[in-house]
A and B are shown apart, each in its own frame.
Chain A
Amino acid sequence: MKEENGADSDGIDRISNLPNEILCHILSLMPVKYAVGTSILSTKWKNLFPLIPNLRLRLDDSLLLHPETPPIVYLVSFIKFVDRLLNITLLDAPSLQWISSALRLKIRRMDIRIRRLRFPKFIFDSLYGCNITSLNILFDFADNALVCRFNLPNLHMLSVQCMKFVHLNILVASCPVLEYLVLNSCICQPGRVLRISVPSLKALKVISAVHAFQSEFEIDAPNLEYINYEGFLVKSYKVTRMRSLRIARFELDETFVQYPFDAGEKAFELARSFAGAEKYWMSKQFITVRAFFFLRFFLSLKKRWNIVLMLIISLFVQLLQNCPQPLPIFTKMIYVSIKCMDFNGWGLLARLLGCAPLLEKLLFRSVMLRNYCA
């Protein structure tokens, strides 16, 4: 093809005369930025890009090629374009009603991230009764937020960040078939209770925020299989019994905080609420708060100890050095792995091994042999 400026068209507009479907096919092979840019060619082209099937917007280099130019002008223009695109391709949607527009396209999964949302009611009114199965929302309700109506009859997966307990309780209660729930840094006022009562719930992840000490958690999820608790401890836990809990994972935030209660006892209470799981994973911080309690807790479990649990025994050993009480008998312990610790309690190890009649395997990993005096 000749690359000169010379008109090789003989004045006949060959390209505009191609059928729309072919032109759209050609446009769909360009970065969307240039495809939309063809609007300027003539009135025919102006109305073409909304017709492109499966238009994909990629926020890549083609959006802004020259970082040295002030991007704000282009960004504003781009945002307007997306609004218009949604409105045109999603037919008769009035402006800003893009959620309803998306729902009309039978979207199954939606992520909404808005900081400082003033009118959450609009969003939830748009979502009311819709069929989406997965919803991921991040926003602060303003303090004076209106009481929202929620109804998400088919929602299976809900992930929420920065939402107040009071709204959260209503929201969760309006999801009858919810299976996966992630609560991230939810905001509670002192004395508030987080209530999760969902019979269908299978997996729950709670990341509690630092200012949640004075709140209470009530969890009624009899079919829960997986619990992941992270962050900070709260004042009280009321958990109803679960029939098929498989994995319980507890991790405390490493930030030093002054709990207004006995953190060790609270951690123990939390772990005991989820007793009966097949597998436990607990972070160092979680256990350190009350090591001996946990030792007894693990001994009380029916199931055989698994390897993950064994890895933390080294930590116990460290903590138990100063423990005057006699060690219990580890009737279920078959595997001990001691790793990454400054280990100088050989006498204690002897005591430990003496209490583990069924031990089959002992593994040392990068143990520092300082004060070797065995």
Chain B
Amino acid sequence: MAAETGTPTTLTLKSNDDELFSVAESAAILSVTIRNMVEDGCAGGVIPLDNVDGKTLASVITYMNGISAIPADEEKKKSYRDKFLSDKDFETLADMVLAANYLNMSCLMDAVSAKIAQVMEKKSVGWVRRKFGIENDYTPEEEAAVKEEHKWTFEGVETDDDN
């Protein structure tokens, strides 16, 4: 390990579409999944990450490098996270939250989840459905019943002009 040899150890990660990425071990072990593999000694060759595609993994690695370069300063880390996520579309966010979950990276998981939560809250039902492509499978009667039951939750929420 890095501490023992004195030189930074590099790990090679492989995405599920066979792209290879090199990343400093010190950054990669932000992922508890990877850290466990390193500690168990199975990180000698290439670490296959079967649930993450190349595009997402590249993003995650950018994040790993970025955040681990920041010293222990929660403020700076937070502003880095905000900046990192600011230009991501929902497709990417969904992929990242899955990857973060798989890689067991709680800080990325929380940041992405919060970002998605922030996008959704206070938005009208129609907007959220269109935005995320959610198919409304309620019958009109069921929908009216749910709406009536949770009336308080729609107070202060944007309304749809069209429904």
Contact = CB atoms under 8 A, between A and B. Distances in A.
| B partners with A | yes
Interface of A: 1-2, 5-16, 18-19, 21-22, 25-27, 29-31, 33-34, 36-46, 62-66, 69, 73-75, 77-78, 80-81, 84
A40 B150 contact: yes
A1 B117 contact: no
Contact of A65 (B119, B133, B143, B156): B156
B149 A22 contact: no
Given A1-B90, A38-B120, A41-B125, A25 B109 contact: yes
A8 B124 CA distance: 16
Contact of A27 (B110, B117, B138, B147): B117
Given A15-B116, A66-B155, A69-B155, A22 B90 contact: no
Interface of B: 88-91, 93-94, 97-98, 101, 109-110, 113-117, 119-122, 125, 127-138, 142-143, 146-157
28 contacts: A1-B88, A5-B131, A8-B131, A9-B132, A9-B133, A11-B133, A13-B135, A14-B90, A14-B94, A15-B116, A19-B98, A19-B101, A25-B109, A26-B120, A29-B110, A30-B120, A33-B153, A34-B122, A34-B153, A34-B157, A40-B138, A40-B150, A41-B128, A42-B135, A42-B138, A43-B138, A73-B151, A81-B153
Contacts of A1: 88-90, 93, 115, 119
Contact of A26 (B116, B143, B152, B153): B116
Nearest to A62: B156
A22 B98 contact: yes
Overall SS of chain B's interface: helix
Contacts of B134: 13, 15-16, 41-42, 45
B138 A7 contact: no
A80 B113 CA distance: 28
Contacts of A8: 89-91, 131
Contact of B150 (A5, A10, A36, A63): A36
Contacts of B113: 22, 25-26, 29
A18 B98 contact: yes
Contact of B152 (A9, A43, A63): A63
B114 A29 contact: yes
Nearest to A64: B155
Nearest to B88: A1
Nearest to B97: A22
Contacts of A39: 146, 149-150, 153
B110 A18 contact: no
A37 B98 contact: no
